Structure 1
Amino acid sequence: MAVVAVGRTGVGETAGRRVKVLVTGASGFLGGHIVDGCLREGHQVRALVRRGSDVGRLRAVPGLELAYGDLGDAESLRRATAGVDVVHHSAARVSDVGTRAQFHDANVLGTERLLEAAREAGVRRFVFISSPSALMRIDEGDRFDIDESTPYPDRYFDLYSETKAAAERLVLAADGPDFTTCALRPRGIWGPRDHSGFLPRMVAKMMTGKLPDLSGGHQVLVSLCHCDNAVAACLRAAEAPAERVGGKAYFVADRERTDLWAFLARLAALFGGRPPNRTVPPLVRDALVEIVELLWRLPALAARVPPPLSRRSVALLTRSSTYDTGAAEHDFGYAPEMDQERGLRELVAWVDSIGGVQEFVRAVR
């Protein structure tokens, strides 16, 4: 789908024509799918990858250019953005461990360096992959059909949420007449080629019977986002008229509202795991989280060992959170291309093709 270009200088310059695209995080799950989506649309694609990253799949992609560099190396970013029209920035520190300095350097300063390099290089469009975690409040309960009027919180669950919010604000503030920026907030991205995201993590726990039911008997309805739908949003946001998307953030999600714990039980059935039938009373659950959070204030643990529980991970599993994608539909024609049933069939086929569920969860076992 091409969007008609109208209005402000430089508006919609990518619409309907081939351009040069830079993708960060291309060796990861979503970044790799963004690379594929851009190539399918006929764009020239350059992938920013760190030396030492696993680039075996990327090397085999016809027509893909690899640019070796790092978000901490400003000179490598200047080389990577040279001659580029569009940047899709999906690289981030998403780990459960790390110091404040590590998260700030990767997610905030890294984004700032990339923005500066892109501006200097004459990049016209900058699409930032943000997260709904940047909007999560510690003290809220269920929320349905959340839209972009939701403000940033005063306090954040963790360093990931805090630094993603800070990076998103930098991106949106950088929007200008010759440099259009926007942010997308997909939640719970899932699909083929994911070995370390939330879905393989949940499956890995169910394979060993280590995922209890934390819901407390409460139905948890959530929005998820298949990788194909996230990619479709990236492509459409990159070519939309600048006066529509410039300086704005958007929620993107699958069409379905998902009953989270029923969905996890279905995954257990599909992949031969044990469904989360063992219940943990909410008072016990919350007490365990408090103990873990207290222990993980110790630098030696926080910097090196993933916590078994965290306030944010428990909130994601116990609070209903659904998102209104009306703004994305209106401003750049977003429409989910993959439905959940077909997505699950394709996921199962992919898992079978790589050697089964043990290979699927190899990075999180």
Structure 2
Amino acid sequence: MSSSNSFVFCLFLLKLVINPGVTAAVRFTTDGQPSNVTVLQGDSVHVHCRVTGLLRENKYFIIWLFNNGYIRTDKVRRNIVSRFTSESRDRSELTAVSSFNITHTETADQGFYRCTLYENNNPVLTSKQGFVRVISRPKFRRQPSNQTVVEGQNVTLSCTVENYDVAHYVKWFRRGKIIADYSIHETNKSHPGDLSSQEVSGSGTFDLHINNISREISGKFQCKVFARGYGKSILQSNTARITVRYPPQMLYPQCNSSNINNVYMQGDVIEATCWAKGGNAPVYFEWMKGGTINNGTLEEFGNLYVGKMRWNLTVHDDGEYISCNMKGFAILNDRQCIIGPLKVQSSRVSTFVSTDGYLYTNSRIFCTVFCCQRKPNVVTTS
């Protein structure tokens, strides 16, 4: 070995003895350096460093840096916990674990964090930087609420978020499935109903519009706020239930009268019946004859509704119609059935003497072969 090479080799050995901390044995463990982490404002975060291969005879300590500046700790929100343990068989080497902890994170805590190992007051090892991302915590100014609507109407579910920024986005859920996703500005067309979502730019308003709502889309809806890179929702609205009411089928109401031919005599009593079946919204009936509205009686048998009304007929009812109008908050357009026209004949009293010598009076002038040999002295009154 030449004299020059011997000199260089000696210097290298001298450096190892003077500063043993630079030996290859001092190193970060595989997961021992700060990593990128996303935390929600107000939650806690912990950043770790783990160094192994430290020699027992040397003095070590770890400092933390935030955005290349030293971190100031306090006893309330920010603190550093470091410990040294022996993990080698001969207990000649130490492992250092240091954790920087923040409780009740604030947006000002966002930035780059790294640790530096000092040996005998000299920095010997610095970790890579880990970025702590602090997402501002939003809150709702408007949330969706329960609604009961009629099939065919339009519905709007409200969702307005305060403290909304570009890191946030909103999704609408129905029965646990996504129906509108503002991260990609898309509405799920596979769900029943005419859905459209609208974001009012910059306002944090994300309303869900349902046009011409159908009974198939009833259920529970929820608005959730997410943050990009965070994974799970950071804010959930109330669960709003939409109940869709619908009336009986279009073939109802149906009605009839006590006389299928609608032929009556003055003084007769007509009883009209009106009924409807199906739907999930209650109905009732209004009766009209000669411009007068009556409610009559109503009976309910589950989703079968039966209404009845009685009138005493006069000759003035001849040619009249009786209408049964089905009413209810779920009936958007008038629906009715008609009885008539009524045929009401005047009542004529006929008095006559039969062949057996008896005097008969019949208000309907019914005459049978058995009794109707009319005498010349018949007196007729009307």
TM over 0.5: no
Instruction: Identify which of structures 1 and 2 has the higher relative contact order when contacts are C-alpha pairs closer than 8 Å and 6+ apart.
Output: 1
TM-score with structure 2 length normalisation? 0.19
Larger-Rg structure: 2
Identify, as 1 or 2, the structure richer in strand: 2
